[in-house]
Structure 1
């Protein structure tokens, strides 16, 4: 009945546009002290570089200035080959190698060298954080999501607070197929925003939906869809949510078909001639000619009806609805009196539906409440669902919410009531 283009996880197919790392230490600053040069202020005693180590490192500097990073790595290897290097010489070799390897795209080499440099305790904390961020971003761009996660976590452990890195971590979990952690992290982010009274980012909600979908967690996916509908009530989200709701095991799809069409109409999804005609026919069958006429008139006004090979059939249905409305209005007051005097609640509820079709929601509320109170309805929670819609149409949201909470049936009325309330919330 409801058509949809299924919401997919394709939203995460492209890499984040993180800026390239431009804060790499300039080669001319790589040495605390060049061979034969002056010591920098406060340099620890013994921090010197011998000529046989310093000369190839100086040559590597010049090559790096010319962006010849692979050639620079070869020179750094020469310096590393010198026997009996001091701890400071090892530090300078690894620092230079880390920079050159990073720029050459040899991330595994850069990673080992950065780890060695960080372990010395000589590297300034701020620069260490910058290099950590750079490695995380580089691994992400290379689609090595495991390493991207590792270095992003180190970035946050080290005190980093760039919001883009939080997004990188979330997408690394998702793209690396670590869906449980993706769900955990993005759920925490969304919850924090909601608790602060803010609106979660749509991409975060999309990621939550996609991760749950990949995990085959239908309940989690539906929950994410409901949040998307609440904050970003787009057509595709609503269509997917309605379709999946109707596909739930045990959902009384046929019995609640008219309720589903009514919600589609409120959302603005009743946009084909077939759906308009089917809803109108269901309304007539339910004894609600006023609603049928209103839907048909809306279909003509929107240009959905009155043209093509079905135009004549559509005209006949319109004529039937017009006649039934005329007959119904003449007899409605008498029908109401008889229904209220009868022993069964069903006729009372049908009269309530008729009044609702004419936009008389106060009358519909009174009669629906009377039908429920009588206590012999076949599906009393269907009546409560209708009452929820009447309350909403009458602007009585608190009563609608209270009535929805009283619905206990597990075959669809509770789910439909929740969706009506969702739609009413986004309309405010």
Structure 2
């Protein structure tokens, strides 16, 4: 389906913004790294949740060395933490697999904190390389998931998906946030169907718990349905975004979707909401707002939008824009406000057409001198679509002013166009009759 002007704003670029998902990386320093990997006291074994996996014990001397790393990490002195780890690594040949795994886990945490992501990935892989039978289940799953997240950061989305799928297969509990993360990975890896399945799952899980889905989840979901041209789905998602995260951009996009679905009244109301919210700042947007008002029989509001836009220099004061403003006033039966705008438009125009229209308006208002003035300007600028019609206006204005000879000259010119010949002849007969009557009265 071809996009309308109102929906072009919902482009791939726009819809890809604000979809990045928050990463939950290695444990925060407020929870010690030792506790995060299942070590809270010397010689600690796996936690109760991990009792089915027996891992080697950590010896006291190794625990103390890790404690020094922890102290540096608590102070966020990453260089000191790294130095302590390197000092510790010199004796790694004497460590059992569990102790090595904890050392590499610390390395991963420190490298992550230093934003050295590739080295962090390698360190967490070294944790897994010690053999899953030698590390607690929590440490294994934490490492796998963190590797996946780090691959997201480094934009290696294929590897991110590989490790996320591995984590999904092993994890007992998968949250909505986990599905959203994998959905993002699918999307970035070019699998929009996979992305949609996961982001739909994330949203439905949140909604089932009575929670409001996160804005970036809805944003990605909206984009994926837009790519499928499922405008009804896009509309329903945008309605949620407007409700929970009211922003001008969402108002505009929802208005565009209502336009696609031929819901003109809803389109107008939503665009007006965007206008009131100050989201319409560009000339094209403001003019579209005015056209919507005019098309829905509220032209005076359309005129106000254009007038305000011109006054604030958001709409350029061109002949065309002034003509549109005049048209809006005219539709609203505000002729006295329409005429000055149309005159200003005519003055800026390179053609005489607007002056010709003004001549007709002044004739209707019985302002014959002004009609002749505007008609003269129209002829001077030229490039008229129907000069015959202008000559009829001039003929009628001159006749009203009892300038019969000039009126006849105007009407003779008008009748040269066969489209005006019949009407011009009727007026010629009338003018001749009036002229004769006036002459008789003068005797």
* TM-score of the aligned structures, taking structure 2 as reference length: 0.47
Larger Rg: 2
Structure with more relative contact order (C-alpha pairs < 8 Å, separation 6 or more): 1
